[in-house]
Amino acid sequence: MKNYLVTGGAGFIGSNYIHYLMENFEKDINVINLDALTYCGNRSNVSIYEGNNHYCFIQGDICDEKLIKKIFHENDIDYVIHFAAQTHVDRSIASAYEFANTNIIGTLNLLNTAKEAWESSNYNGKRFLYVSTDEVYGELPAEGYFTEDTPLRPRNPYSASKAAGDMMAHAFYETHHLPVVITRCSNNYGPYQNAEKFIMLGTGSM
């Protein structure tokens, strides 16, 4: 039995991921969905699992150190799948503080708690997935493509805060050997997505 802490699991990609986990592995896993239910989070995206012994929803903030420690302490977490973020570029231009708190401090809080909980077992069987974004690379010239070695050049407060979280995750991997995996996907569209960020409505988000 593996215990997953999924952050932001009431949001667009996080809720799709929980559906995937529960549809394919339900009997072998426990999923804890931690989400602050900001305007982007919608508990009904995953409410079909409420009452299921393998699923638990916690409304809370990834910046809340006490809460994260309690979740680790009570649930013997094996995997952290970290989706939770402030995600809309235009909002980050209007005010960046919430983006810095959630995307940098919240990420640091999760990394540090995972390190403290897992280091005595030498991280055996543990994983921390940080869901980053291709926006950390900045803008492509007319020709070409990004690779994993492309330097990070974020161009707005959203992507700067995601790049900071990304680099913090990498730093925990290098410094503490925390088993971190980082993904930097480009834009996704699909079910459970907040209309604000659908392809025709955004000016460049996520």
85 in contact with ligand NAD (CB under 6 A): yes
Closer of 1 and 131 to ligand NAD (Cβ): 131
10, 21, 80, 178: which one contacts ligand NAD (CB under 6 A)? 10
Q: Give the helix ranges, DSSP H, for 26-142.
A: 65-75, 89-94, 97-100, 107-118
CB of 122 to ligand NAD, least distance (A): 28
Any residues with CB less than 8 A from the CB of 206 and at least 6 apart, and which? 87, 88, 89, 133, 135, 187, 188, 197
28, 188, 198, 201: which one contacts ligand NAD (CB under 6 A)? 188
65-75 and 107-118 helices cross at what angle (nearest 10)? 40
Closer of 30 and 45 to ligand NAD (Cβ): 45
30, 33, 92, 102: which one contacts ligand NAD (CB under 6 A)? 102
Terminal CA-CA length for the chain: 33
Give the gyration radius of the chain's Cα atoms.
Answer: 17
Which residue type is seen at 137? Y
Is 162:132 a contact under the CB 8 Å cutoff? yes
The interface region with ligand NAD, picked from 71-79, 136-144, 148-156, 181-189 by CB under 6 A, is 181-189
157 in contact with ligand NAD (CB under 6 A): no
Q: Sign of torsion, CA 135 37 125 101?
A: positive
Distance CA 41, CA 193 (A): 9
154 in contact with ligand NAD (CB under 6 A): no
DSSP category for residue 152: P
62, 77, 108, 136: which one contacts ligand NAD (CB under 6 A)? 62
18, 61, 161, 169: which one contacts ligand NAD (CB under 6 A)? 61
Residue nearest to ligand NAD (CB): 11
| Binding positions for ligand NAD, rule: CB under 6 A | 7-8, 10-14, 35-38, 40-41, 61-63, 83-87, 102, 106, 131, 133, 162, 185, 187-188, 194, 206
